[in-house]
Amino acid sequence: MSRFVFKDTAHFEDHAAVLRRLLPQTARAMTEGGLDGIGWGAHGLSRTDWRSWPADQGAAIEAFLHAWWQNALAKPESPYGIQDVFETCATIARSVTPFLDGWAQGPVADAHFVHCADHWLYHLLSGSSPFTWWYDDTEDTGAADLRT
């Protein structure tokens, strides 16, 4: 699955069609820890205009991202690091705001917040972006929103 999800958009004649076809398997792999690239590569959905897809498909991606994020916040340990889940969700959505706004309350989510803050602190204080695989022009906005 990772072979396809993290391929460059030029690899396939119709990158968006490949992603749509593999979306159920991709979502399952993301939740179960089956994607080797989370944490080091640009997810295919972050490199396609999925919001231009039919409304029900775009809404499904949006709903999945929020559900995956909430699920990761509720677990003391998830298959991926919490900052990797956050960054993957934010880069696919091209915004950190909904995931910061939706940060759950409670001891587990608070511990995740402390972990993320520690992970991001150097970058936030130095004025650089903490995001390692955000490749479009919304990265600066995302980093600024995170600082705020």
Q: What is the pLDDT of residues 51-105, one digit of tens each?
A: 998 999 999 999 999 999 999 999 998 888 899 899 889 988 989 999 999 999 9
For residues 89 and 86, give the distance between their C-alpha atoms in angstroms, rounded to a whole number.
Answer: 5
Share of the chain above pLDDT 90, in %: 37
**Start-to-end CA span in the chain (Å):** 36
107 or 14, higher pLDDT: 107
Over 60: is that where the pLDDT of 1 sits? no
Helices (H) and strands (E) in the chain, counts: 7, 0
Over 90: is that where the pLDDT of 12 sits? no
Indicate the number of domains in the chain: 1
Range of the domain at 24: 2-147
**CA-based nearest residue to 86, from 70, 75, 74:** 70
Tens-place pLDDT, residues 20-49: 888 888 888 888 888 776 665 677 788 788
